[in-house]
Structure formats: structure tokens, C-alpha cells
Structure 1
Amino acid sequence: MSTLTEKTPEDLKQNSAQGVTPAIRSMHYAEFGPKLKTALPGPNAKKIVADDDRLISPSYTRSYPMVAKSGRGIRVTDVDGNEFLDFAAGIAVNSTGHCHPEVVKAIQDQAAELIHMSGTDFYYQNMTTLAERLSAIAPMPGPHKFYYGNSGAEAVECAMKLARYHTGRQNIISFFGAFHGRTMGALSLTGSKPQQKRRFAPFVPGVHHIRYPYAYRGCPDGTPEEQEAFALDCARYIEDRLFKTILPPEEVAAIILEPIQGEGGYVVAPTNFLQEIRRICDRHGILLIADEVQSGAARTGKWWAIEHSGVQPDIVCIAKGIASGMPLGICMSKAEVMDWVPGSHASTFGGNPICIAAALATLDILEREGLQNAATIGEKMLDRLRPWVAKHPTVGDVRGRGLMIGVELVKDKKSRTPVGPMRDKVVDLAFERGLLILGCGETTIRLCPPLIVNEQEASIALDILEECITLAAK
């Protein structure tokens, strides 16, 4: 946990007044901005943090001492009555905002009717209802089949096992920078941070990691044409090197990738890279798994981030925003791929009636307003953010799609040296001003608000963020 200097409400007002942010002083701020009442952390928060330190696993990565009590829309109120703008959304989970009334009603109504029946042993109509809804928006042609679990990691575990079962092959190709989860199979595919793997080996065998097309790091000074060539080289490494040296292609079950790497730094895969990966899979009978756990469920302004490229996967992993905070992980595949027999894979709580009710309500809201709003507000945010690369010496890159946006901070433009501590300072400063954000990758700030965020809230959040970047750079 970060060590923060206590800030009084007077300090916070003064800090805002000293910034370079005109909208903070606008009439919109009183209505749409954060509302801070106490020093941060407040007295109740301090006590709970102390209890947490005493009782809860120290493996959790807490960025700052925000102790949530309630939430509505994009706002979270802590145990001391401070109200924050939430641009973390429970790590991109609260797609419809906190406690959307339609989601709450769906949960309450379902809880009064049926809480659990174990879809692995019995039948339940809403399991097929949700499957039909998802099949209609799938990024590949149907028919489709669906597996329900509890989390993104479980969706990935299912995809990993299914790929091996269907193909009869053992090996899987993943990417450096990837985050697929922390259970042993998903962790074996993950290539994000050493601490996530430290002291947990041996991992599931047969996993091979290669370079992801992170152009800002791999081809930073290249022309657009050179960056396209770099992305193709990353994909072609599979055939040019792996398949010619250590990995027989006929023994590869799947290639798994995030169309936009989440924990890896909100890095967007170029279209030509994804197209080449698809061609490689087709040439060698390899399945393409799209991990859409963080990038899916309308976050990028399309239902699935891979749709921006026109590439069709064979398997899709879904979780996070699909049920507005209820635990639900889904593995969706072409029907012919999910050909395993009873007993091959299951989950006691997968397809829980309350979680499915929340997902159905979530789809209604996203279809009606969230999908288009993510595209519209996301593009307005990116239009505001892109000039920061020229304006701020420490902003190296701005990238993203929809409301999945990364701002990469560097020591200076020439060296592009990562500045993890400064990034963390920006996150702390934002918390002190009532804005909840998170880092990702080595030196990137991620912005992933609920998909119902409005233009005024987005503008105020960027005002606060810009002030924090300016202060941290000093």
C-alpha cells in the first residue's frame, strides 16, 4: 500500500486551485466532480485498513487506502462520506456503473425466486437465454456453445483445456505482457510480472511466450509503415523461428491473445498483426483464443475488441463487465470446437441464476446506451488526451479504444525510460483529489470508467489527471 501524506479538505481545495485545470473551477465541478469531506484516509478508513492489514491476505495489491461503502453510477462513497469519481470501475468490471437500478432489480427478483441449482447437474432456462443473447453478438459466425464459470481465470482455464481436448495437441502460444489470470493454467499463460509467478513453479508445460506488437517500445521511432512491418514480424516469428526450431506446428493447440493487453499496459494489437495470426492458425489447424475478459462487453465501443480488426476467433473468454460486478466467467466457442463429453469440465457455481440475471440486465443496458456511449465518450477522451504527448514532457504515449485508454508516462521523450514511481505518484495524487484510477504495465495509467460515464464527468476526470501529471513531473 502506498504511504500517503494526509490531506485536509482545505488542502484539497487549494491543490485544485493551483492546478492547470480550468474545468475544476467551472460550474460543472460542483455537480459532477468529487466531493471530499475529510482528510484522506479518514478515521473510519484508517481503522478498516489496520484491520485489513491484520486479517487479510497480503497478496492483494492495494494502490491507496480507499475503503468503499456504497456506489451509484460512476461514484463511490467511502466509509467517511467522501465521494469519488470511479475511473477504475472495479478493474473494468462495473460496466453499467455501481448499483444500476435495473441490475439491482434483476438480482433482487432472482434472489427471491432461485439462488442456486448447479447448472452442471441440472437445467435452468436462463442459461440458454443468456447463451442465445451472446450468440447473437459473437465475433465469429455460429452456431456457438457456452461454458459458464465464475471468473476470467476460469474462462481461460476452460479455453486452455478445450483447445487441448479438441485438437489433441498440447502446446499453446501466448505473449509477453499478457495477463490471463492467476490459477495455475491461466498463470502459465500469463507473461506480465515476475511477482505473479515467483515461487509458484513448475507451471503447466507446453506454453511458449513470444513478443507482443508493443510498437511504442519495440519500434518507437518508426514510420507508420515501419510499425506495421514490426507488427507483422511479431506474428511471423511464430513460423519463421518457433516452427522452424523448437515447436512443431502440428503439436500446437492454440494461440491465445488479448486484442488489447490489459495488465500489460493497455497495448492495442494492430489489425495486420491479428490478421496474420489468424492466417497462421488457419494454415496449421491451430485455434485462435481471444481473451476478452477486460476488453470485451462493449468496453471498446464494440461488443468485442477483436471486432475492430475484422478477425474471427474460434474461442472467446468473457468475464469482468459482462455481469456488472457479479462473478461470471464465460467461455464461448464455435459449436464444433466444444466437442467434449460429460464430465470433461464443470463448475459448481458456474451459471449461477443471480449472476445470469445480472448479465441479462447488463446486456440490456449496454445494448441500449453503453455500447454507443463507450465509443462516443471514449473518442472524445482520446481527442483530449492525444495532444498531451506534445504538451507534457512526461506523457510518452496515449492509446486505446472506446473507454479502455492507456496513458504511458516516461522520464523524457528521447529515452522513453519507464517511470513506475512517478506513475504511482500520479495515481496517489488523483486519489487525494477524489479520482480513482489504476496503473497497468510498467509505467501506464489506465482509464476504464463505467460505460455510462457522461461528458462532464469525463472532462473533470481528465482535468484532475492532467493536474496530477503536471504536479508529479515537478
Structure 2
Amino acid sequence: MSATLHIPEATTPNAQLHEDFGPRLNTPLPGPNAAAIIARDEALMSPSYTRDYPLVVQSGRGCRLTDVDTNEFLDFTAGIAVNSTGHCHPEVVAAIQAQAAKFLHMSGTDFYYDLMPRVAERLSALAPMAGPHKFYYGNSGAEAVECALKLARYHTGRQHIISFLGSFHGRTMGALSLTASKPQQKRRFGPFVPGVTHVRYPYVYRGCSGGPQAAEAFGLGCARYIEDKLFKTHLPPEEVAAIIVEPIQGEGGYVVPPNIFLEEIRRICDRHGILMIADEVQSGAGRTGKWTAIEHTGVQPDIVTMAKGIASGMPLSVCMAKAHIMDWVPGSHASTFGGNPVALAACLATIDIIEREAMANAAAVGTAAIERLQTWVSEKGIGKHPIVGDVRGRGLMIGVEIVKDTITRTPAPDLRNRIVDLAFERGLLLLGCGETSIRLCPPLVVTPEEMEVALDILEECVIIAAHN
């Protein structure tokens, strides 16, 4: 911890806890080995990649990463919410090794193997909507979204799709057409897939003031805009195939909408024969303390997309639909590598770990973390940390919104980025999301002690950023 920074007594960290569970930094960052690799990378790799800080990974175990200079970090990114069971969980590694010794690939597009229905059976039992279900396997979240987009059009015979401002659904052309997160993601790539309309998502902190009743009214209004405005002006409801929605927006800022928003979207879909697609790519696989984030609302979608944490780092995505909806015929859609047997083996082990312990741990550790973080929030310029405007989340999908001041709620992306950099310098890996928020998405196996250390470091970084 900084020797020159005054930390309030209530937040003074437990030195022994940090010694036992904290990062261990042995060199300046980046170290010499990391710097050499970064130079080679910059000469050869696409400049489209976004690297927030100079981390060069050597190995990982659980919530800890070691870089090529032997520096050890606490990883609260989980590879962007991918390493759900932590880095190199022994059960996942064993499953991968066992399957790799049998066969690596046989393309489920053209042939059969037992892992495909086995994984589908497990996922069907966890589905947020009543069965029976049908499944399609891809390699990435964007591929799952592409599948959902094509399936919705195929099943309904309609063309139009409604998506939301702030949404992120991927970077392939169909998924990108649904995305409305950052201008750079779409700049110079148009024209996009036609028939997509974006409407407002109920970002409560940015859209209304007041208590829970005001938030509910705001959420309901965002949903009803579709029926009250779009359908009455320029978008015939009978030509809309689907509404695709993130139950919690990920890249948009870890934004949790009021439950009534998703409930009303469901009612609108039912009234007009529109499919409801829940994009659970970042919020699924137990991250929120339930298998899917939409379960917190009781709303049942028609189609669900999942990826990221579903296979603990192996490339796998799933598009799951009510069986009668996945009614397309052979050749309509396929993927050579989707449902790769090694990835499916990793998925089965991941499901075992999440169901047995990690999902409950996400709920418990996440709830405690949110309770502590919410004590940091300032209201109208008064509070513990004047640049922390909002804390929101479910389970281990937590967003901390950084502002210039809590009276105007002015976004402060530079302050947010400064906090992320300061955390890296202290051995804590974080990422931003949205315009001005920090996301906390550690592996679901993070311990209470690791969480406490991480929040101590984050709080120190918040204090430094606020006073410099």
C-alpha cells in the first residue's frame, strides 16, 4: 500500500490478509520479459486489439495470474468473464486432457458424438424457460447471436429485429448490426444488416432520479416505448421477428434494469407474436448467482444465447431455443468447429463445478462485495468517496460507476481509466465497461479473502484518483 496516502481507519487493510491473499510484484511493470514480448506483439499483431495495460500472462491458477516476469496478480477480469471456474481448474484440465487423448475433432455438423446430446441435456435442465429445447453449438458469443438472429427470421418469416442502445452482441456483421455500445465498433464498417431498430435501455442511474418507484416507472416506460411509439409510427409489429435484450447489459456498463422492464418486453412479445431473445453471453453460466441472469426476474425467453464462462476458457457457445422454434431444416445453419468435443468436455466439467459450488459462491461473495461497495457511493456530493456515483450488479457481475461529481453525475472516463491503471500497478486486474464504469467479474470461485483484498486495493485507487 502507498506509504504517503492517508487511508481512513475504517478501510485500513489487514496486513496479514494482504500477505496471504494479495498480489506479489517483483519487478516494475512491465518487467523486462513482458516489455520484449509487447514490442514483438506491436510489430506483428492487429492494432484493432484493445490492451488496457501491459500484462503478459505466463500461467494462471484460480483467481491468480503470473506474468512472464514472475509477478503475481489478482485477476478480477476472468478473461472478460470467461474463466468462470478460475484459471486451470484441475477438473476442467483433467476433462480436456482425457478428451484430447480420445479425439480432438469430428465436426458435429456432419457426424455424431455423445458429448453433443450430453451437454444439451445438462443445459436443458438449467434452462430459464420451459422445455423441450433444441440446441446449436458455435465457438463464440457472436456466433450464438448470429444463430439466434437467423433462427428468429427463419421461424417467424419476419425481417425486423429490435435491440437496445448500449447493447453489445458481438463484432461479426449480423451481431454488430445489433450492437450499439461504442461508435468505434461500427465506424467504417457499414452498411449493416438491415431491419434493426435500437431503442433506449433503462439505465436507471443515467435516466431518472428518485427511489425504486421512479426506477420502476422508468423501466416500464422504456419497454412501452416500443408499443406506444415504434409500433404506432414506423415499425409494423407483425413484421418484427424478435426483440434481443441483455438481462444485464455487459459492455454497456453492467447495467441492471428494473424487473418490470423485462416483464413488459415479454408481454409485448406475447401480444404480437414476437420472439424474445435473452443474450446471456456475459451474464450467464452462474455469474449472477443463478445459471442465467433472466431467472432473477421470472421472465421466460424464447431463445437464449450463451458463451464466455460456459466452458472455462475453451471456445464454445450455445444458442438454445424452445424446440418448436428451432424448426429449420438441414443446411440452414452450421459450424465446422462448433461443439468441438474438447470444448464440450470442458463444458461438462464446468457445469459440474458451477452447480456444485461456484454459483452459490458467486451469490454469497458477490452480495457481500456489493454491500461493501455501496457504502462508497456518494449522494449529491456527500459520501465516503465523491467520485463513486453508483454501484450495481448481481452476484459477481458488479459495476462501479465513476463520476466527476455526484451532483451532476458527469461521466469521468479518464478517472475510471486512471483507477484501472492504478489497480494494475498494485497487482489487481480490472477492466472498464460502458462510458465510465469499472466492472468486477472475477472467477466464480473467488474467496471472501481475495475479494476483501481486491476491494482494499480498489478503494485505495479510488482515493488516489479522487485526490490527484
TM category (shorter chain) comes to over 0.9
Instruction: Provide the C-alpha distance between the structure 1 equivalents of 2:258 and 2:2, rounded to a whole number of angstroms.
Output: 43
Once the two structures are superposed, the pairs formed by residues 86-105 of structure 1 within 5 Å of their partners are: 86-105=75-94
Matched, 1:384 2:349: no
**Deviation of residue 360 (structure 1)?**
0.2
Q: Partner letter of residue 71 of structure 1?
A: G
Identity of aligned residues (%): 72
Once the two structures are superposed, the pairs formed by residues 152-301 of structure 1 within 5 Å of their partners are: 152-219=141-208, 221-301=209-289
Q: Partner letter of residue 75 of structure 1?
A: R
Q: Is the 8 A contact 1:254 1:286 kept in 2?
A: yes
Structure 2 partner of 1:127: 116
Structure 1 partner of 2:407: 414
Instruction: Provide the C-alpha distance between the structure 2 equivalents of 1:125 and 1:328, rounded to a whole number of angstroms.
Output: 16
Residue by residue over 1:402-456, the C-alpha shift from the partner in whole angstroms, topping out at 9 and shown as x without a partner, is 0000000000011111000110000000000000000000000000000000000
**Deviation of residue 14 (structure 1)?**
3.9
Matched, 1:444 2:433: no
Among 367, 378, 398, the alignment partner of 2:355 is 367
Structure 1 partner of 2:380: none
Once the two structures are superposed, the pairs formed by residues 34-45 of structure 1 within 5 Å of their partners are: 34-45=23-34
Q: Is the 8 A contact 2:76 2:443 kept in 1?
A: yes
Q: Is the 8 A contact 1:16 1:24 kept in 2?
A: no
User: TM-score, structure 2 length as denominator?
Assistant: 0.97
Q: Is the 8 A contact 2:215 2:258 kept in 1?
A: no
Residue by residue over 1:261-302, the C-alpha shift from the partner in whole angstroms, topping out at 9 and shown as x without a partner, is 000000012110000000000000000000000000000000
Structure 2 partner of 1:116: 105
Structure 1 partner of 2:38: 49
Structure 2 partner of 1:458: 451
Q: Is the 8 A contact 2:204 2:257 kept in 1?
A: no
Instruction: Provide the C-alpha distance between the structure 1 equivalents of 2:63 and 2:228, rounded to a whole number of angstroms.
Output: 47
SS at 2:321's partner residue? strand
Instruction: Provide the C-alpha distance between the structure 1 equivalents of 2:2 and 2:257, rounded to a whole number of angstroms.
Output: 41
Structure 2 partner of 1:77: 66
Once the two structures are superposed, the pairs formed by residues 424-443 of structure 1 within 5 Å of their partners are: 424-443=417-436
User: TM-score, structure 1 length as denominator?
Assistant: 0.96
Residue by residue over 1:359-408, the C-alpha shift from the partner in whole angstroms, topping out at 9 and shown as x without a partner, is 00000000111010000000000010001003110000000000000000
Q: Partner letter of residue 227 of structure 2?
A: E
Q: Is the 8 A contact 1:23 1:460 kept in 2?
A: no
Q: Residues 73 and 261 from structure 1, CA distance in 2 versus in 1: closer, same or farther, beyond 3 angstroms?
A: same
Q: Is the 8 A contact 1:410 1:416 kept in 2?
A: yes
Q: Residues 70 and 16 from structure 1, CA distance in 2 versus in 1: closer, same or farther, beyond 3 angstroms?
A: farther
SS at 2:74's partner residue? strand
Q: Partner letter of residue 89 of structure 1?
A: A
Q: Is the 8 A contact 2:388 2:403 kept in 1?
A: yes
**Deviation of residue 152 (structure 1)?**
0.2
Q: Which is worse superposed, 25-34 or 122-131?
A: 25-34
Q: Is the 8 A contact 1:23 1:459 kept in 2?
A: no
SS at 2:314's partner residue? coil
Gaps of 5+ in 1: 1-12
Structure 2 partner of 1:335: 323
- CA root-mean-square deviation: 1.1
Structure 2 partner of 1:395: 388
Residue by residue over 1:312-364, the C-alpha shift from the partner in whole angstroms, topping out at 9 and shown as x without a partner, is 00000000000000000110000000000000000000010000000000000
Q: Residues 20 and 83 from structure 1, CA distance in 2 versus in 1: closer, same or farther, beyond 3 angstroms?
A: farther
Structure 1 partner of 2:343: 355
Q: Is the 8 A contact 1:426 1:469 kept in 2?
A: yes
Instruction: Provide the C-alpha distance between the structure 1 equivalents of 2:190 and 2:3, rounded to a whole number of angstroms.
Output: 47
Q: How many residues align?
A: 461
Instruction: Provide the C-alpha distance between the structure 2 equivalents of 1:203 and 1:324, rounded to a whole number of angstroms.
Output: 32
Instruction: Provide the C-alpha distance between the structure 2 equivalents of 1:16 and 1:374, rounded to a whole number of angstroms.
Output: 35
Q: Partner letter of residue 286 of structure 1?
A: I
